[in-house]
Chain A
Amino acid sequence: MRVLAFLGRRLGIFAISLLGASLLAFAVCSALPGGVAEAILGEGATQAQIDALTAELGLNRPWPVRYLEWATGMLHGDFGRSYFTGQGVLELMAPRIAVTWWLVVFALLLSIAVAVPVGMLAAMKRRSWEGFAASAVAQLGMAIPAFWAAIVLVLVFAVGLRWLPANGYVPLTTDPVGWAEHLVLPVVSLAIVQSAVLVRYVRSAFIEVLGEDYYRTARAVGWRPFPALLRHGLRNAALSLVTVVGLQLSAVLVGAIVIEQVFTLPGLGSQLLSAVSQRDLMIVQGVVMFLAASVLLINFLVDLSYAWIDPRLRAEDGR
C-alpha cells in the first residue's frame, strides 16, 4: 500500500511538472501576442498584415483553446507544425533523436566509468596527496566549459594530430567506424566536465560510507579496504549516486545542445538552435517541450529507482 502511495505521489509530481513545462513553453512561444506572425512577416510588416496572418493561422483564438489543442496533440505524438514549412515537429525531430541519444548515453557512461573509481580513490586516500590531487583535478574539470574542452580537443586531435574528424556525423547504419570516430571527441568533451562534477559526489558518498559501522565491521573481520568498500559501500553509496546521475543526465542533455553546435552534429540541439535563429516558434516550442519532458521523465525514473534500491524509502513519504 505504501509502495502504491509513493508511486502515485511521484507520478502526480511528474504529471504536474509536465503540465508546468508545457504551459511555460506555450506561454513564451504562443500565448504572448504578436510573436509568431511578426516573426514570419519580418520587420517591415504592417499591423493589418500581422492581424490577417494571425487570423489565418488561427492564433487569434483564445489561448486556452490553442493550448489544449497543442497539449492533446502531443498525447497523440503530434508536437505541432512549423509555421514556415508546415512540417511536423516530431517528423523533424525523429532522425535527430538518435544523434543526441548516442551523445548523451555515451557521455554519461564514460563519466560514470571515470568518476566512480577516481571518487573512491579520492575518498580512501583523502588524507594523502593522491586524494588531494584527485579533488584538485575535479575542481579544474568543473571550471572548464564543455564547449571549450571540445574546441581544445579539436585543436589537438583533429587539427594537430589529425587522428579524428573535427566535425560532422555519419549514421551508425551507414558506416559504424565513421560513426564511432565522429562521436569520440563530442562524447569525451561532454564527459570531462560531467565526470568532474560526479567525482565530488562519489567522494563524499564514499567518505560517508567509510564512517559507517558496517564498514568498520567488515574491515575488522579482515576485509581489505577496497573490496570492503565495493562489497558493502557501493549499494549504500548508490542511493545518493542515483540522484546525482539523474541530475547529471539532464545536465548532459542540455550540454549536448552546445556540444552539437561545436561539432555540427545533426541532433536535437542544432534543430532547436536553427529554429531559434529562424524564429520558427512552433518548432522551438515543440523541441523545448520534448527536451523538458525527457528531463522530467529521467527525474521520475530516478525517483522510482529509489524504491528499488532502498526499500526504506517506500515506507516514507518521499521527502
Chain B
Amino acid sequence: MRRAGLWCGAALVAGVVLMALVSLVWTPYDPTLVVAGQRLQGPSAAHWLGTDHMGIDTLSRILVGAQTTIVVGVVSVGIAAVLGVPLGMLAGQAHGWVDEVVMRVTDIAYAFPALLLAILLAARFGASPVTAMTAIGLATIPSFARVTRAGTIQVMSSDFVLAARASGTRWPGVSLRHVLPNIAPLIGVQASVTFALAILAEAALSYLGLSTAAIVPTWGKMLRDAQTVMFGAPLQAVWPGLAIAAAVLGFNLLGDGLRDLLDPRLREVS
C-alpha cells in the first residue's frame, strides 16, 4: 500500500516532466497566439480544455506551463541544495561554536517565510522569475542544512568513518568519499519535498503577479487571469489548479515514498 504512494508520485512527476518535454517540440496550438474570435470557449474537439480570455488554447498553455514549473523547481532546489548541503556538512563535522553558529543562523532564517522574502525582493528588484526562484531557493536553505547536518552526524559516528580518519583521510576526503554518498538519499528526499514547496510558492507568486512576464504561461498566472472571467468561463479556473495540485502531489508522494524506502522503521510513523 505504501509503495503505491511512491509509484503514484513517480508517475505524476513523470507526467509533468513529459508535458514539459512534449511542449518543447509540440503543442496543439501556438501558446501565445491570440485569436480574438475564439475567446472563452468551452471544451471542444478543437480545444480540449477550451480557450482563455485572449482566445489562446488552454491545453497548449498548460503544457508550456509545465516548463516553467520544472525550471523554477530545479533552480530553487538547486540554490537551496548547493548552499544548504555544504553548510549542513560543515555543521555536522565541526563541533562547538561553528556548529552552534551555523545552526542558530539557520534557525533564524527558517523563521523568515519564503513568500515574504520573495515579496521583499520583488519590491526592490522588480517582479521576475529570477527573484522568485532566488527567494524560494534562499528560503529553503535552512531545511537542507538541517537534514544534511543530522545525516552527517549519523554518518560521522559510524565505524567506517572512524577507520577512514584513523588511516589518515583528511576531512575533505571524508566528506566527499564517505559522508556525501551516504547522505545523498536523504538529500534526494529533501529535494523532492522542496520541489513541491517551490511549485506551490511559485504558483502563489505568479498568481500575485510577482513572478513572470506577461507572455510566459505559468499555471499560477493562468489562475489569476481565469479569476477575472470566472463568471463566464468557470472551467478556465479549474484546469491550472488541477495541474498544480497534480505536480505538488507527485513530488510530495515521491519524497514520502523514498523516505519510507530508505527507512523502513519510519513506515509505521509517517
Binding site for B on A (CB under 8 A): 13, 16-17, 20-21, 24-25, 28-29, 32, 35, 126, 132, 139-140, 142-148, 151-152, 154-155, 159-160, 200, 204, 207-208, 250-251, 253-254, 257-258, 261-262, 272-273, 275-277, 279, 281, 284, 288, 291-292, 295-296, 299
Contacts and interface: CB of A to CB of B under 8 A. Distances in A.
A151 B203 contact: no
A288 B238 contact: no
A200 B223 contact: no
Nearest to B235: A155
B204 A200 contact: no
Would you call the interface of chain A mostly helix, strand, loop, or mixed?
A: helix
- Which DSSP category, helix, strand, loop or mixed, fits chain B's interface? helix
Contacts, number: 141
Contacts of B226: 151
Contacts of A258: 115, 204, 207-208
Given A28-B124, A32-B124, A254 B116 contact: yes
Contacts of B200: 145
Contact of B249 (A29, A140, A272, A281): A140
B45 interface: no
A21 B248 CA distance: 29
Report, as a range, how many residues of chain B touch the other chain.
35 or more
Interface of B: 1, 5, 104, 107-109, 111-113, 115-117, 119-124, 127, 196, 200, 203-204, 207-210, 220, 223, 226-227, 230-231, 234, 237-238, 240-241, 244-246, 248-249, 252-253, 268-270
Give the most central of A24, A146, A147, A277: most B CB within 10 Å.
A147
Contacts of A159: 230-231, 234
B108 A16 contact: yes
Contacts of B120: 24-25, 28-29, 284, 288
6 nearest CB pairs, A to B: A148-B241, A143-B249, A143-B248, A284-B123, A276-B123, A254-B113
B111 A250 contact: yes
Given A204-B270, A281-B123, A143 B252 contact: yes
